[in-house]
Each structure stands twice: as C-alpha cells, then as structure tokens.
Amino acid sequence: MAVAHPHYLKSSEKRKDIEQLMVPNAPLAAPIPQPTILSQEELKKIAAFKAVEFVRSGMVLGLGTGSTAKHAVDRIGELLKSGQLKNIVGIPTSMKTHEQAMNLGIPLSDLNCHPIIDMAIDGADEVDPEMNLVKGRGGSLLREKMVETASKKFIVIVDETKLVDYIGGSRLAMPVEIVPFCWKFTLQRLEMLFTDAGCVGRLRTEGERGAPYVSDNGNYIIDLYFDRDMGDLKAASDAILRLAGVVEHGMFIDMATTLIVAGKNGVTIRNKD
C-alpha cells in the first residue's frame, strides 16, 4: 500500500515562494505544484508517525532506539500529553531512550514487570527482502533484541535507504556485542567464521583517543564487514552465538511482523506472511 505525503506539500509550496522572491523580476504567477523532495530525516519521521497510528490506549510498548525510533517516542509522548492516548507503559531499549521517554512523561517499566509486550516500534540499519534486519549500529542491539523478542508485534520503521538485497549488503557494520575480556581473540574467532564471505572485524571505538565503545551493558562491540553474502543466516547466527565471549549479534532474523518504509514515492506497509 502506498500513501503520498500530503501534509508536506505546504512546506514545498513555501520553498517555491521563497525561490520566486530570490529571482529578480520574477513574474507574479501562481506557484506551479512541484514534486516534494523530502529529506532522509523527514522520511524517518513519516515512517515513525505511521507506526504510532497502530498504537492503542492501554498498550505495553517497546520503545526503540535511534534517530528513527526517536520520532516515534516523541509522537507517543505528544499523544499522551494531548490525551489522545492513555495508560501506555513504555519499555525502553536503551538508556538513551529511557531518558527521552522519561523527559516526555511516558510511564516506564521493564521486562521483569512486563515480560509480554503488546507492540514494539524500532528502526533498523538494514532490511532484506524477507524482513530480516541488521540492528545495533547505535549500540543498543542487546536490549533491543530482548525487548523485541518479547513483543507480540514488532513494527520496523525505516526510510528506503535501509533496504538491501541481503544482510550485510550495505557493506556497513553488522555489530556483535562481546565481553571485553580478550576482545582481540573473539574478534579473530568471529572473522574466521566468515572467511568465505570476506569478513573483516573492527572493535568499535569512540572519542579522539579511540577508546573502546562501551554498551549500556558494559560490553564492547565488534563491527563485522562482509564483502559477500554470508549465506544461511540462521547457521551464521548459531555459529556466532556458540562462540564463548559473544553476548549477542545484530541480526534480527524472522522477528519483524510489520515493515513500514518511507520513500520518495510514499509509504509502504508490509506485514509478515
């Protein structure tokens, strides 16, 4: 199903007016409707707002992490404030989202108190044609996976740049959360699993001094980069999880129940068969 972006037309018309004002001796003609070019940020927001339309009062909600999920959390906060939503309980997937939701006044809880979640809404770094995902480039994969596997429905929200032919296909990171102890050893073991796919691993670092990035759970992250398709994802997942030292990986296989993609031609909503 594709839906256009009517609520964004006004701003494009505004832009047209401004362009006309900047052209010397521009004729005073009625503005000609132009196709709207939306930024990636606007597309993320459109996908996020569409997902929040599925939220109902009384739900326990998994609150995702990242720049796309942030729009969804903001929107939920807004609807709670205006009274359009009531009795929502949010389960945040990171310390960052916890802070955002708290500042918005969204009542929060955790998996100990709410082991079954009605619906989770979160972004993704990659989505393949089977709706398998890569997540965790923002470092929150472990808590996201815990919350989203506990969710009856998991709505993934992305702009169309996240669509790939196969997992790893963006050539960007597939994150793996590991314990800090002897991280180089674990990195080498991870690379060795995927030599056929031309896999290279890098410890994620931050700051000018390149200190290891530390997750909300006190762990390190190894980013894996693939030259070629790694093949059977379930076999890859099992092999990674069998390595002592690995906590979790960022492949979310067969977890998404709905995918919302915002692109220049509109919004597409797809449910898992």
Question: Which residues are part of the catalytic machinery?
Answer: 144
> Smallest gap, in angstroms, from Cβ of residue 75 to ligand R5P?
14
149's tokens: 């596997």
Considering only residues 72, 80, 119, 124, which one is a binding residue for ligand R5P as defined by CB under 6 A? 124
Considering only residues 62, 92, 139, 201, which one is a binding residue for ligand R5P as defined by CB under 6 A? 139
State the Cα–Cα distance between residues 223 and 143, nearest whole angstrom: 17
Spatial contact of 80 and 58, defined as CB atoms under 8 Å apart = no
Considering only residues 47, 55, 63, 69, which one is a binding residue for ligand R5P as defined by CB under 6 A? 69
Please tell me the count of residues contacting ligand R5P according to CB under 6 A: 18
HEC secondary structure over 59-123: CEEEECCCHHHHHHHHHHHHHHHCCCCCCCEEEECCHHHHHHHHHCCCCECCCCCCCCEEEEEEC
* Ramachandran class of 133: left when φ > 0, alpha when ψ lies in -120 to 50, beta otherwise: beta
Q: Can residue 258 be called a binding residue for ligand R5P (CB under 6 A)?
A: no
Nearer to ligand R5P, 223 or 226 (CB): 223
Stretch that binds ligand R5P, among 5-13, 54-62, 107-115, 140-148 (CB under 6 A): 140-148
Considering only residues 136, 168, 201, 245, which one is a binding residue for ligand R5P as defined by CB under 6 A? 136
State the Cα–Cα distance between residues 171 and 215, nearest whole angstrom: 22
Q: Can residue 135 be called a binding residue for ligand R5P (CB under 6 A)?
A: yes
Q: Can residue 92 be called a binding residue for ligand R5P (CB under 6 A)?
A: no
* Ramachandran class of 206: left when φ > 0, alpha when ψ lies in -120 to 50, beta otherwise: beta
> Smallest gap, in angstroms, from Cβ of residue 166 to ligand R5P?
18
**In the chain, where do the E strands start and end?**
2-3, 60-63, 89-92, 117-122, 126-127, 133-134, 151-159, 174-178, 200-203, 205-206, 211-212, 220-225, 246-249, 251-252, 258-263, 266-271
Q: Can residue 219 be called a binding residue for ligand R5P (CB under 6 A)?
A: no
Spatial contact of 225 and 188, defined as CB atoms under 8 Å apart = no
State the Cα–Cα distance between residues 216 and 99, nearest whole angstrom: 13
> Smallest gap, in angstroms, from Cβ of residue 161 to ligand R5P?
9
Nearer to ligand R5P, 9 or 269 (CB): 269
Q: Can residue 47 be called a binding residue for ligand R5P (CB under 6 A)?
A: no
> Smallest gap, in angstroms, from Cβ of residue 65 to ligand R5P?
5
Stretch that binds ligand R5P, among 139-147, 179-187, 211-219, 228-236 (CB under 6 A): 139-147
Task: Find the Cα–Cα–Cα–Cα dihedral 163, 166, 170, 173, rounded to 10°.
Answer: 110
Q: Can residue 217 be called a binding residue for ligand R5P (CB under 6 A)?
A: no
Nearer to ligand R5P, 137 or 153 (CB): 137
Considering only residues 64, 90, 168, 245, which one is a binding residue for ligand R5P as defined by CB under 6 A? 64
Where does this chain bind ligand R5P (CB under 6 A)? 64-69, 122-125, 135-141, 144
